[in-house]
Structure 1
Amino acid sequence: EEEYLAGMDTCKHNLHDRIIWPKGATLLTVSALKNTLSSLWKDLSDWGVSSLGKSFYEFAFSILEDVRRVRSIASWNLNPGLLKLFAWSKDFNPRVQQNVSAQV
Structure 2
Amino acid sequence: MSTSFVTPKEKLQYCTAIGHEELNKLITVSKPTTCLLDPVPTKLLKELLPVAEEPLLNIINSSLSLGHIPKPFKLAVIKPLIKKPQLDPSELANYRPISNLPF
TM-score (norm 2): 0.27
Greater gyration radius: 2
In the superposition, the TM-score normalised over structure 1's length comes to 0.27
Q: Identify, as 1 or 2, the structure richer in strand.
A: 1
Structure with the larger helix share: 2
